[in-house]
Amino acid sequence: MPLLVPAWLGVAFIVLPLVALFIRADWANITTHLAAPVVGQALRLSAITTSITMVVVWAVGTPLAWLLARSDHPLTAWGRALITVPLVLPPVVGGVALLMTWGRRGVLGGWLDETFGITLPFTTAAVVMAEIFVALPFYVIAVEGSMRSLDRRYDEIAATLGAGPVRTFSTVALPMVLPGIAAGSALAWARALGEFGATITFAGNFPGRTQTAPLGVYSALESDPQAAIALSLVMLVVSVLVLGLLRSRWLR
């Protein structure tokens, strides 16, 4: 099969660097490296921020996906395009945009600062905002796709039986799109976990407050490469596990 060679080259190109992480890790002292303060703090912060991110993404993204899937308005297509911009935007550009909006002299941030004395950059909240900015589109696109493939007659039947839009959505549509929600959640969570550019631009880098796992890897690489490899391994294993578990259950 002549197609096998390029196909396997593709696989090797992706898998080899992942394997290299395992080969180059200092396994004899792996527990010491994993116990390095930078590793634990960064992982804890990543766990917290990506969890909050997912709650917001579910709360905001699910209704948004539903509206996009059900709207016939001509502007919907534009709305969908705008929502997906962060998918292709370089993350650092997202960070600059967030800074211009929510920074201390930003369009909204200036007002927040003057009125309430709230400043967002350099805070954990800024990390969560950066993660939501890059992760929400992944979720909305995945969930909208599965919602659009739903047969509208189910909505209509529910409506004739007297269910309002919220009830229709929660008891008819939602259960049927759970696979789409699971898939979208996995993608969005993985994207939030890996977020680097927008975070470092908008939230800065301080251990325990804004230094998430990817920033921790970058930081450790300069001073303690083995800690960076250990942290990378943890992120790799967790990502593979989440995608793998979802694949067998929800993604096909």
Partner 1 sequence: MSRRSAPCAAVALTLTLAACSSGTDPAKGGGTVEQTLTVLAAASLTEVFGLMAEDFEADHPGVSVEQSFAASSTIVQQVNEGAPADVIALAGMSSLEPLAEEHRVGEVHEFTTNSLQLAVPPDNPAGITGVEDLTQDGIRLVVCAEQVPCGTASASLFQAQGISPAIASLEYDVRATLTKVELGEADVGIVYRSDVTEAGDRVRGVEIPDDVNVVNSYPILAVSDSPLAQAFVEEVLSERGQQHLTDAGFVAP
- Applying CB under 8 A, which residues contact partner 1? 99, 103-105, 119, 121-122, 200, 203-207, 210, 218-219, 222-223
Which stretches within 103-151 are classed as H helix? Answer: 109-116, 124-148
The residue among 42 and 83 lying less far from partner 1, judged by its C-beta, is 42
Which stretches within 149-224 are classed as H helix? Answer: 152-160, 165-168, 174-176, 178-194, 197-202, 213-223
To partner 1, the closest distance from the beta carbon of 29 in angstroms equals 21
For residue 217, give every residue at least 6 positions away whose Cβ sits within 8 Å of its Cβ, in sequence order, or none: 42, 228, 231, 232, 235
The residue among 24 and 167 lying less far from partner 1, judged by its C-beta, is 24
The residue among 144 and 195 lying less far from partner 1, judged by its C-beta, is 195
The residue among 58 and 218 lying less far from partner 1, judged by its C-beta, is 218
To partner 1, the closest distance from the beta carbon of 95 in angstroms equals 11
Which residue from 207, 234, 218 is spatially nearest to 33, judged by alpha carbons? 234
For residues 127 and 199, give the distance between their C-alpha atoms in angstroms, rounded to a whole number: 6
To partner 1, the closest distance from the beta carbon of 210 in angstroms equals 7
Q: What residue type is 136 in one-letter code?
A: L
To partner 1, the closest distance from the beta carbon of 59 in angstroms equals 28
The residue among 181 and 213 lying less far from partner 1, judged by its C-beta, is 213
The residue among 185 and 211 lying less far from partner 1, judged by its C-beta, is 211
Query: 40 exposed, middle or buried (CB, 10 Å; 0-12, 13-18, 19+)?
Result: middle
For residues 102 and 75, give the distance between their C-alpha atoms in angstroms, rounded to a whole number: 27
Query: For the chain, what is the radius of gyration of the CA atoms?
Result: 21
To partner 1, the closest distance from the beta carbon of 90 in angstroms equals 16
To partner 1, the closest distance from the beta carbon of 190 in angstroms equals 24
